[in-house]
Amino acid sequence: PGPHNLTCVSNKHPSVRGELGDAGGAAAGAVRCPPGQCCIGIWNRSHALVQGCWGGEGDACPSATCSPSPAGTPGGSVLLCLCHGHLCNGNATATATATGTGTAVG
């Protein structure tokens, strides 16, 4: 069934264009995800690009914490995590390359 009533950090960096990350709007904050969705975080080496809800299957987000893995082209600088913990996408763990990922939520 996937997670229910999950809250994720919501942020979209100004450099990101298009609809990616629109679930939470452009301002940093928190967003309540629809049932079955989990949190996503996408970073480059210096800052978070997109944080919000991800509509994939719940079993695609097995971790309660955000442990980013490389995404895109091999050797690229984009990191991705999918997780199902409360605000889990606000902080990337197990990597020194995702700095500045903590987003204050009010």
pLDDT computed for residue 31 by the predictor: 93
Per-residue confidence at 51, pLDDT binned at 50, 70, 90? very high
pLDDT at residue 47 greater than cutoff 80: yes
pLDDT confidence of 8, banded at 50, 70, 90?
Answer: very high
User: Residue 87: its pLDDT value, please?
Assistant: 94
Higher pLDDT pick, 20 / 53: 53
Paired strand residues for 2? none
Q: Does 60 reside within a domain?
A: yes
Domain-embedded: residue 2: no
Residue 62 domain-assigned (yes or no):
yes
Read off the pLDDT of residues 62-105 as tens digits, 9 standing for 90 and up: 889 998 888 877 777 889 999 999 999 987 764 433 333 343 33
Residue 18 belongs to a domain? yes
* Residue 27 CA, distance from chain mean position: 14
* Percent of the chain scoring above 90 in pLDDT: 30
Number of domains in the chain: 1
Pick the closest to residue 58 from 9, 8, 10, 1 (CA basis): 1
DSSP code, position 103: -
pLDDT at 58: 53
Range of the domain at 35: 7-83
